Structure 1
């Protein structure tokens, strides 16, 4: 057996990944995106920086992976059988995430600290687009149940749900709460029922 044939210890890959992502989040909390470096993340994670570079070519990919990890694990897609309840659950889930310590750190890092860094633009777009793509099944099920007109654009509905929360946080820098979530859900639901999001090719 050659050196290259020696198997890695079980679980080492996932453990290293978890350590690096946790270290990245801690670095964001400590100094924001502007001071985030691969060297500092490696030191905090207890790994060599080449280990990080093998998996993540740069710091924006690290932040993107942290973002994806938290969105995937922190957001469950509701299926209550009622669109109004599903939209409210999604809005509350988003508000809960952006007001939690990890969510606040990530959101601040990519929308405030990193505002002057063009390299993070793709990560910002991913945050605003990944949620609607993942949650669109809520709207698709509502169309199938007859709650919404056929041809309703599901991504547009979810974007409209998230937009006022996003605006309040990033543009006017105001706190969000359950009332914000309720308003966002009401607006998205009313517009969807009115046919505002009817896709042109279905008209």
Structure 2
């Protein structure tokens, strides 16, 4: 909190008035950060999956996100891991929307697990960016989306 106050060039009490503890500060920072993930679903689940894959690739390749995920991958701080996990669970749940809506319309069999399908989209992108230190190119993202779409048929 002291470091945030110093960087913001304000007194520590100013920070504490708005965020009474470190957890609230981090929670708001995460919300602000992930609010940049903006996808409007069209009702065409195939196009939406492809758009989500590109959006995730671009977001997860952002230097701030790379730094946060690198820290997350290497930290032993359980509280930090829980905060990140809790925050991302809501974001990732929203990514299930096109799949769940397509299931409700009968376009995707209900036997397909929307949560796992979204995880299957996120994991290869995160792995490439964090562990391989490379951003997947457009062709890779197109292939990834195509495989997810095939998995739903």
Distance 2:137 2:107 in 1: 27
Counterpart of 1:52 (choices 15, 19, 22) is: 15
Once residues 75 and 163 of structure 1 are traced to their aligned partners in structure 2, the CA distance between those partners, rounded to angstroms, is 17
Contact 1:161/1:187, CA 8 A, preserved across alignment: no
* Gaps in structure 2 of 5+ consecutive residues: none
Larger radius of gyration: 1
Q: Report the Cα offset of residue 108 of structure 1.
A: 3.6
TM-score (norm 2): 0.80
Q: Report whether the alignment pairs 1:120 with 2:84.
A: no
| Root-mean-square deviation over aligned CA pairs | 2.5
Question: Could you tell me how far 1:127 is from its partner in structure 2?
Answer: 5.4
Pairwise CA distance, 1:159: 1.6
How many matched pairs?
152
Using a 3 Å threshold, how does the CA distance of structure 1 residues 170 and 103 change in structure 2: closer, same or farther?
A: closer
Gaps of 5+ in 1: 1-37, 194-203
> Scaled by the length of structure 1, what TM-score is found?
0.63
Query: Is 2:104 aligned against 1:144?
Result: yes
* Gap change, CA 1:88 and 1:122, over 3 Å in 2: same
The reply on whether 1:76 has 2:17 as its aligned counterpart is no
1:172–1:108: structure 2 CA closer, same or farther, 3 Å change rule?
Answer: same
Cα deviations across residues 162-182 of structure 1 (Å, max 9, x unaligned)? 121122233444333323322
